[in-house]
Amino acid sequence: MNGEKTEDKMTELHPFEPFLPENARILFLGSFPPQPKRWSMPFYYPNWTNDFWRVMGLLFHDNKDWFAMHGEKRFDMERVKAFCCEQGLALYDTACEIRRLQDNASDKYLEVVTATDIPALLERIPHCHKLVTTGQKATDVIVQTFGCAEPSMGGYTLINIAGRELAFWRMPSTSRAYPLALEKKAAVYKNLF
């Protein structure tokens, strides 16, 4: 762990650089990565039990295991990155520094210490016109930071960030803790594309 110790809990800095392909048209924002012990790859949505890459596999290749390494419980990071570059998908999180209030990956026990500078990210991806949150904690951070309306689940609202109008989409969490079948999550995500 890195960061400073406060109230017996260490803060953690974001372990990944923002993934911002030049052609990015959609910026996906989660809350914060799980602890490294839960990673199946050192990249976004790394937890093997998180369904983000299964949703993308279903939507783009009609195969939930498209990004999985055959016979292993991990995702193929190079295939994932190539796909994101091909499709113009940027990835980061709404927090760049957090404190875990319990020793788990739950957003419920995640305290945002420093929110991400979203305008700075958007400056680096000029073709981006959609901001997508992949869970309630990420949605809450955007709503609080920009004082905008919270979109309905699977819907969007228009938001102005640093003079730029974007569609702010709120998607269901791809965590298995969110009680919605994989196929139903994929159906909601399909509206984005």
Q: Which domains does the chain have, with CATH numbers?
A: 5-190 (3.40.470.10)
Q: Is the model's pLDDT at 125 over the cut of 80? A: yes
The whole-angstrom separation of Cα 130 and Cα 155 is: 12
> Helix 77-87 crosses helix 52-61 at what angle (to 10 degrees)?
60
CB-based contact 56:45 (threshold 8 Å):
no
Q: Is the model's pLDDT at 3 over the cut of 80? A: no
Q: What pLDDT digit, counting tens, does each position of 126-165 carry?
A: 999 999 999 999 999 999 999 999 999 999 999 999 899 9
